């Protein structure tokens, strides 16, 4: 049939050109599986670090893990420019110029912004503190979660018999991550320092500072007693 002929031609094009990756190849599948675990890491850790003011030890394990994670997502941008895609007719598009334009017009801007190395710039040219605009740029990494929809849609057709379970899993993940992010936001708001005063001349403080009365409410600088009390409170 015409569809089979085009599929064979697409496979031949990818075989003759070492620059085009098959989205169904073993390498691409393993790459996507790794991406899923890294996206889960980003979704959980990034909001927690920003909200609780958790400082990374320079040249420590998690510093290098984050650096390797950033390098992975930057590499994925280059791979996406070389990965064939299925067009609106359901045919595998293997022309390099069309692949380039398709990715550039769809997901490139989001992926590029999400890879902004704000924290690394702060370590190199700033004081490496957890405050300031560059620290907040780590939240741009959450834009990487848009990749989840792409990964699911890429394999949804292949696992169509499990479509209902996939949809339920998506809903459970969304609810879990929203709950996690809202809790982090709630703590971050309660930790804000402000110069405002009430009618009695007392400084207006968030619930975290009012409860524990620490000058710095971050988990990284709180006393051991304050930290234990805070964790018990959050677990209630």
pLDDT tens readout for residues 139-182:
788 888 888 777 777 776 666 666 677 778 778 888 999 999 99
> How many angstroms separate the CA atoms of 196 and 191, rounded?
14
Q: Where are the beta strands (DSSP E) in the chain?
A: 85-86, 92-93
Most confident of 15-24, 62-71, 184-193, 196-205: 62-71
- Residues 136 and 21: their CA atoms lie apart, in Å, by 35
Please state, rounded to an integer, the average pLDDT across all residues of the chain.
76
- Angle of helix 26-51 relative to helix 163-190, nearest 10 degrees? 30
pLDDT band at 130 (very low <50, low <70, confident <90, very high): very low
C-beta of residue 93 within 8 angstroms of C-beta of residue 102: yes
d(CA 120, CA 128): 9
Whole-model pTM? 0.72
* Tens-place pLDDT, residues 7-43: 555 555 555 556 788 888 889 889 988 998 998 998 9
pLDDT of residue 75 exceeding 90, the answer is yes
């Amino acid at each position: 049939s015409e569809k089979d002929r085009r599929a064979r031609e697409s496979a031949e094009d990818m075989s003759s050109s070492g620059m085009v990756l098959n989205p169904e190849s073993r390498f691409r599948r393993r790459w996507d599986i790794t991406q899923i675990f890294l996206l889960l890491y980003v979704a959980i850790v990034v909001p927690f670090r920003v909200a609780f003011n958790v400082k990374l030890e320079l040249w420590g394990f998690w510093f290098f893990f984050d650096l390797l994670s950033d390098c992975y997502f930057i590499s994925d941008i280059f791979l996406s420019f070389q990965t064939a895609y299925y067009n609106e007719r359901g045919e595998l598009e293997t022309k390099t110029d069309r692949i380039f334009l398709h990715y550039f017009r769809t997901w490139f801007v989001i992926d590029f912004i999400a890879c902004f190395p704000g924290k690394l710039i702060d370590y190199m040219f700033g004081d490496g503190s957890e405050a300031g605009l560059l620290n907040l740029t780590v939240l741009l990494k959450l834009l990487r979660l848009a990749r989840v929809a792409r990964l699911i849609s890429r394999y949804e057709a292949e696992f169509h018999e499990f479509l209902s379970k996939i949809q339920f899993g998506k809903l459970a993940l969304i609810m879990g991550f929203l709950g996690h992010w809202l809790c982090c936001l709630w703590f971050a708001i309660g930790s804000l320092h402000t110069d405002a005063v009430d009618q009695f001349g007392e400084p207006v403080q968030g619930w975290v500072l009012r409860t524990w009365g620490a000058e710095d409410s971050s988990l990284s600088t709180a006393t051991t007693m304050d930290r234990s009390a805070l964790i018990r409170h959050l677990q209630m």
